[in-house]
Amino acid sequence: MNVEIKETSAVERTLTVTIPQEDLKAPFEKKVAQYKKEIQMPGFRKGSVPKNMIIARFGDSIRSEVVDETVNNGITEELKKANIVPVSRIKVVDFKDDKEAPISITATIEIDPVIDIKGYADTGITVPEVAASEDEVNAEYNRLMQMWSRDEHVDRAAQKGDVIVGDYIEVVIDGEAQQLPEQREFRSLLGESASPGFDEGLVGAVAGETKEINFTYPEDHKDEKYRGKKATFKVQVKDVHEVLPPKMDEEFFQQIGVKDEADLRSNIQEGIFNQKKNAARTKAVNEAIDKLIEANPFEVPNARVEDLIKYTLARGSDKPADEVQPTEEELKALTPEAVREIKKHRILEFVANAEKLKATQALVDARIQQMADAYHVDFESLKNHLRQSGRVMALREEIRFEAAADFIVGIRPAVEDKAEEAK
């Protein structure tokens, strides 16, 4: 058998395969012998069916198997010799076999292109400094206090900050009556609604009262279709609840895992800072990636794109990725982002390899500790589980790619980290 490999494009190779009929004789005889051991036919014991009967009945199928195996084995061997790693299945575009002349096959495979990313060491993009402001800390503190609060019935008129429990009776918006929801009951925290006019109309309401509230939706309402429109709500007030904040004592602080209020505020500040820092880093990395993609154009194999789209769709279904078949509309909608993600991965892989970035054991252990803290499990138990499942290798790659992302926005490994990597 002869296999010729031709570069059709940066991501495609064309394979021309020629198989002399003589090359099929030995594997054909071997395959017939295998069939003979397994086949059972009426009037013959297993393994005693005559060879000529096997060939007469199964010869064409056996020959097809032999051709497929010969082609696949030969192509695999030649690709290995040429150091070519296909990312797609072999696609046969032409097949000629008259069982006399040599078999002629033309096939194609897709591969990842060789890339050489320029300019990654100085993209001109860095992560800006961030800080958690006092207003942000106070806002989050108040949100948490509200979340940890409880509300109780009070026998008085509603005030700002109370919770009104009621039923919708009639809703008219811009002069048109609206269909009421099946669940007509509502709970409204007065002063926190997206429609201040509605809340204002409920201030002073008492349980058992029917209220008609006229107001205009704000121009910046979260639902665009309501912005600036006049509304009339007729509601039945069923109850008024007073919101009671949590008691700031030792029991409460122990329950939420802090020492005191100062520790709580410190945790909030740290959380906001980390959130803003991560958001700023993500934005900078994406800008740097887009800049490198534009400066270093390269093709992406269609097989990679389809595989990523299948994986994306599979996450929202109960099917494995290899059973998902994207529609034309899905392929069209998801291809641009899939291409970008694949290019991002290739660029970060190139940077990690070029800079010899590695995940030190200290970094791996620190990440496992973060995971253990998040899942409230023992560090050593989690580490052993990750080792046994092979997940540690994936974790190392994840950290290595994060280091590459840091590198392109000017964050370089510390000197001590490089010293440890060199060991």
pLDDT at 317: 79
- What secondary structure, in 3-state letters, does 253-276 show? HHHHCCCCHHHHHHHHHHHHHHHH
99: exposed, middle or buried (C-beta count within 10 Å: 0-12, 13-18, 19+)?
A: exposed
Residue 178, pLDDT score: 94
Q: What is the pLDDT of residue 414?
A: 53
Q: What does the pLDDT read at residue 43?
A: 83
| Cα 309 from chain centre | 11
Long-range contacts of 74-77 (CB under 8 A, 24+ apart): 74/1, 74/3, 74/17, 74/19, 75/3, 75/15, 75/17, 75/107
Place of tokens 């895992």: 257
Q: Residue 72: helix, strand or coil by DSSP?
A: helix
Run of H or E including 94: strand 91-96
Complete DSSP assignment for 191-236 = T-SS-HHHHHHHTT--TT-EEEEEEE--TT-SSGGGTT-EEEEEEE
Sign (positive/negative) of CA torsion 406, 412, 416, 422?
positive
Low-confidence ranges of the chain (pLDDT < 70): 413-423
CATH for the stretch 257-421: 1.10.3120.10
CATH of 2-110, one of 3.30.70.1050, 2.40.30.10, 3.30.160.250, 3.30.559.10: 3.30.70.1050
Model pLDDT, residue 190 = 94
CATH of domain 150-244: 3.10.50.30
| Domains of the chain by residue range | 2-110, 150-244, 257-421
Q: How would you label 174-199 residue by residue, b for 16+ Cβ within 10 Å and e otherwise?
A: eeeeeeeeeeeebebbbeeeebebbb
> 3-class DSSP state for residue 248?
coil
